[in-house]
Structure 1
């Protein structure tokens, strides 16, 4: 096994795009690959141990593992100026549970089991759920563990926290910028931060007020416009590739094994799988296959190669759903009061119309109390670029009384409250 100094040198050299590839780089790349491989066996042991405990926990969950992609590791070394041996998430295990309170309950359960078994040591716990990460708004509970001398990361997320994370992942590849790494337009990143905050409010059973919804809708529409200009096809949602899932499930059933590693190759230029393969549980054979695919399908050609381990491939549709589309996550949210998933798509009126309604309602322009259209446009609603169009939209709904001056129809108050 290479020394720590040599491993860190491998990370430093390989993450430097200015260095020429020579014989020394070839040697260092082999050291890098070997070091990454050494995380797979303890990671698989951790995942299987956790899975065994979860089966007796009595709660719904999804669990899977992944060995971090090589380009992702090298970018992280550059972004944070850290050494390769300092990285804590080369091997990662992800557990998805229903609610935020389930995250707390599950962590308490797992930490108790770890103390009993001495299977792994908890090195650090970082809780991003309350405030979200400053850079992107990411939320989850992270537990850094030591297993057989290797640092591994356990992520525990609620369904809503995971929905946000997978949404930003999918949007990143549609947009062509890694938003979690703060690439791309700041307005798009800002939308996802506010989206995360809004989802958190919902998860802790708070209602979003009308101003928050309007602000979020405006930010979303701006983000969609920016992405649309970048890709000439502006949309933030996807589809679920069920045919691939069925094919993989069939292969899984034919092998009749309790745990499998999978190589997935996805082409983000057209949103389709290039290929997939079930690979050996043996760390050497699995990582050799991983390296071969990474070489054959480079990231700079917009190919993404990932190795995921799971006892059921259907689990991956939940734990790493951006490879399959994100539609099915709406099921977890649609019954929640004031759900904001797809807010701009489902809204009955545009943002400008909602702001006009809010202004007239707050200033009590109801029934006999009227306001001149010019005053409303140039004074109270001066920031609404779509004022004329939005006002006509409100007129078409029959909730505006008068031609000029105007007011809101008291008889339509319940409907107006619903729109706001």
Structure 2
């Protein structure tokens, strides 16, 4: 029988404490993730069906947070003085859809996702991170509530996805907290300057995507217009390769 939300919340309160996690609580967390895994599989099937319908080439991936990642998230929040309710965390189960989309098409796909899940009786909410980015991160998130649990569906343009991958690798090297506006764990001002540059890059990319979407709506040819973004995408791919090399050297 699935854990009640109150039981999940109490489990989270115990896990957020800096003391060693008990074997019993670790087992409960693993059981909870099994519930989320089944939910994620069902939601992925719905998303795959929708992506087969549209004409845009899209990539779909999914992931489930690990026990270690969840415990670290809870303890990091506690250390910041903002305790997190485990039962209300919305990104334990996540699906990511990305592709060569315009911003308009990104909206359309988000609407399709909401319509399909709501037609099945599930409540959805949308977080538009494009106008209100978090440390430069932009995307459209659809949060689907299923039986007291959540699945987060991220919809990204290819530019937003590449940018996020670059920033994720920077966070892997200099501290995961930078994704939430926290200072880097080391590297000082040099890393802070890199983060600021990435935020500026995100703003410039969004402005270009906005212009491209408006041009296509006004009648300009889609592929020729989208091709204007290619130099930026190439730069992001090169940055990702460079950072992967830095990350590889630091691990040896």
Give yes or no for TM over 0.5.
yes
Change (3 A) 1:27 1:66: same
1: CA distance between counterparts of 2:205 and 2:159?
7
Alignment partner of 1:336 is 2:229:
yes
Q: Which has the higher contact order (CA 8 A, sep 6+)?
A: 2
Change (3 A) 1:195 1:56: same
Answer yes or no: is the 8 Å Cα contact 1:67–1:91 preserved in 2.
yes
Q: What is the match of residue 179 of structure 2? A: 180
Answer yes or no: is the 8 Å Cα contact 2:90–2:143 preserved in 1.
yes
Q: TM-score, normalised by structure 2?
A: 0.73
Alignment partner of 1:201 is 2:204:
no
Q: Pairwise mapping of residues 228-307 of structure 1 onto structure 2 (< 5 A)? A: none
Q: Equivalent residue of 1:43, what SS?
A: helix
Task: Give the structure with the higher percent helix.
Answer: 2
Q: Which of 13, 25, 29 is the equivalent residue of 2:26?
A: 29
Q: What is the match of residue 99 of structure 2? A: 97
Q: TM-score, normalised by structure 1?
A: 0.46
| Distance apart, 1:63 and its partner CA | 0.9
Answer yes or no: is the 8 Å Cα contact 1:202–1:339 preserved in 2.
no
Could you tell me which runs of 5 or more consecutive residues in structure 1 were left unpaired when the two chains were aligned: 207-332, 347-420
CA RMSD of aligned residues (A): 2.6
Q: Equivalent residue of 1:106, what SS?
A: helix
2: CA distance between counterparts of 1:27 and 1:62?
38
Q: What is the match of residue 6 of structure 1? A: 7
Deviations 1:4-24 (A, max 9, x none): 33322322222322x145xxx
Answer yes or no: is the 8 Å Cα contact 1:97–1:103 preserved in 2.
no
Alignment partner of 1:61 is 2:90:
no
Larger Rg, first or second structure (1 or 2): 1
Change (3 A) 1:38 1:131: same
Answer yes or no: is the 8 Å Cα contact 2:60–2:95 preserved in 1.
yes
